[in-house]
Amino acid sequence: MSLKTKDPQIYDLIQRERKREMETLDLIASENFASKEVMEALGSILGNKYAENYPGKRYYGGCEIVDQVEELARDRVREAFKLPLDWHVNVQPYSGSPANLEVYNALLEPGDTIMALDLLSGGHLTHGSPVNFTGKTYKFVHYGLSPKTGKLDYMEILKLADKVNPKLILCGYTAYSREIDFKKFREIADKVRAVAMADISHIAGLIAADAHPSPIPFFDVVTSTTHKTLRGPRAAIIMCKDKFATAIDKSVFPGMQGGPHINAIAAIAVTMKEAKTAGFRKYAEQVVKNCKAMAHTLQDFGFKIVSGGTDNHLMIVDLTNKNITGLDARKLLESAGIVTSQSGIPQDPRKPWDPSGVRLGSAAVTSRGMKEKEMQKIASWIAAVITDPSIAAKVKQEVKRFCKNFPAPGL
């Protein structure tokens, strides 16, 4: 019996969500479309199996096949990110936030000092926000962006590191649009004898496709989600030098998690195989081209982009010169079929729940086959709706017709 027959309410909600995704433009930088193959693995019978601990060391019987699934996923992560032989992979974290917590728990003691980018400048909640567990457990000292350029100021970061002597320095962000110089962060970490950690959750797909530099040659530990630009399941991975492997594995299990989600791990394996294809490389390159095209067009319409542009898949639009808040802009654009997320700007005078900007991303629309010409069209719709809210309903119909020409993968 089908889901439609046995649970028509849930079936109907799924169909309504499918319709919404098909008929709107997803510019949320942390979202994307997983392939049918990824979703097939995620929804497979592997979800039935408990497999606490690691391959060859399980506490449950019947794990000989799922052991192979996990080993294959780890091997494919190694290949996708070109890991050195002395690096280790853990594919069990349930999502990006637990992955970060598991690294902190493995390598630090409560109260230890960590340096990271502040939330309003593009950091993440798990990078020491005072409302988050991390900010309450560890002593986070936040660096910001240059007030003049809106970019990372590596000299200022070094000065701060010299002053506070952190045990761990974290980079890799949730709303930073510029290329990261991982080598400079390594040099800073070496000068203060800190562990160098990168959270590449947003740019992992770009890194795998060589569309953004990789931290792997320079860093000690790297965490990442497997969706966003990677187009995989909602899960996470931890990659680290072998000397940290035992501590991190113990921190994941039994330290902070129970049985791994083998179905998600299988979906990670599928994702990493896809990331090695020529088609994925072409997609990642287009993601960057598309984001640049959208940013340039918005600037032509008089919009301010934090840091003046973008080198990756996202941008922060500063709306302070448009007489609209980030929250109101997000709601207005959604009424026009353009889905975004509100975002703070550096030194934002407004509150986090109603900040001064919106974050836009190009990954999901690129997965639908859109290119620079389409990005210019989308930017023109954004400008038109922000300028004249009365046309939102009309634009929504135009967006709906437009989306029919670009079928979303997996839908």
Give domain status of residue 223, yes or no.
Answer: yes
* Domain co-membership, 270 together with 298: no
Kindly state the percentage of the chain with pLDDT values over 90. Answer: 95
Give domain status of residue 349, yes or no.
Answer: yes
Rg of the Cα atoms in the chain: 21
Per-residue pLDDT, 1: 75
CA of 31: how far to CAs of 228, 312, 360, in Å? Answer: 5, 15, 11
Of 74, 167, 186, 228, the catalytic one is 228
Mean pLDDT of 376-381: 98
Across the chain, mean pLDDT equals 97
CA of 254: how far to CAs of 48, 58, 105, 239, 258, in Å? Answer: 20, 12, 12, 18, 6
* Domain co-membership, 225 together with 294: no
* Domain co-membership, 270 together with 305: no
Q: How far apart are alpha carbons 264 and 31 in whole angstroms? A: 17
Binned at pLDDT 50, 70 and 90, residue 174 comes out as very high
pLDDT in tens, 251-282: 999 999 999 999 999 999 999 999 999 999 99
Query: Do 53 and 59 touch, CB atoms closer than 8 A?
Result: yes
* Domain co-membership, 206 together with 350: no
The contacts of residue 244 (CB under 8 Å, 6+ apart) are: 88, 106, 107, 220, 221
Question: How many CB atoms lie under 10 A from the CB of residue 59?
Answer: 12
Per-residue pLDDT, 128: 87
Least Cα distance to 183 among 141, 156, 218 occurs for 218
Collapsing DSSP to helix, strand or coil, 209 comes out as: coil
Q: How far apart are alpha carbons 168 and 365 in whole angstroms? A: 36
* Domain co-membership, 252 together with 355: no
Of 118, 199, 311, 348, the catalytic one is 199
Per-residue pLDDT, 380: 98
Question: Is 52 known to be catalytic?
Answer: yes
Per-residue pLDDT, 355: 96
Give domain status of residue 299, yes or no.
Answer: yes
Mean pLDDT of 36-62: 98
Per-residue pLDDT, 154: 97
* Domain co-membership, 245 together with 137: yes
Question: Is 138 known to be catalytic?
Answer: no
Q: List the beta strands (DSSP E) in 61-136.
A: 87-90, 113-117
Mean pLDDT of 28-40: 98
Least Cα distance to 296 among 358, 363, 380 occurs for 380
Question: Is 143 known to be catalytic?
Answer: no
Per-residue pLDDT, 21: 98
Question: How many CB atoms lie under 10 A from the CB of residue 366?
Answer: 27
pLDDT at residue 114 tops 90: yes
pLDDT in tens, 328-349: 999 999 999 999 999 999 989 9
Domain boundary among the residues 252, 274, 296 is at 274
Of 78, 234, 281, 377, the catalytic one is 234
Of 50, 187, 372, 398, the catalytic one is 50
Domain count for the chain:
2
The contacts of residue 57 (CB under 8 Å, 6+ apart) are: none
Of 225, 226, 297, 325, the catalytic one is 225
Query: pTM here?
Result: 0.96
Give domain status of residue 10, yes or no.
Answer: no
The contacts of residue 62 (CB under 8 Å, 6+ apart) are: 49
* Domain co-membership, 85 together with 166: yes
* Domain co-membership, 253 together with 331: no
Give domain status of residue 254, yes or no.
Answer: yes
Question: Is 154 known to be catalytic?
Answer: no
Domain boundary among the residues 274, 305, 340 is at 274
Question: Is 50 known to be catalytic?
Answer: yes
Of 21, 31, 37, 52, the catalytic one is 52
The contacts of residue 228 (CB under 8 Å, 6+ apart) are: 29, 30, 31, 32, 201, 202, 204, 205, 363
pLDDT at residue 58 tops 80: yes
pLDDT in tens, 236-250: 999 999 999 999 999
Per-residue pLDDT, 281: 98
Binned at pLDDT 50, 70 and 90, residue 121 comes out as confident
* Domain co-membership, 249 together with 315: no
Domain that holds residue 208: 40-274
Q: How far apart are alpha carbons 208 and 203 in whole angstroms? A: 9
Q: How far apart are alpha carbons 81 and 215 in whole angstroms? A: 10
Query: Do 114 and 164 touch, CB atoms closer than 8 A?
Result: no
Question: Is 228 known to be catalytic?
Answer: yes
Mean pLDDT of 294-313: 98
Binned at pLDDT 50, 70 and 90, residue 119 comes out as confident
* Domain co-membership, 251 together with 327: no
Per-residue pLDDT, 254: 98
- CATH number for position 389: 3.90.1150.10
Look at phi and psi of residue 4 and say left if phi exceeds 0, alpha if psi is from -120 to 50, else beta.
alpha
Mean pLDDT of 60-82: 98
Tokens representing 111? 């109260």
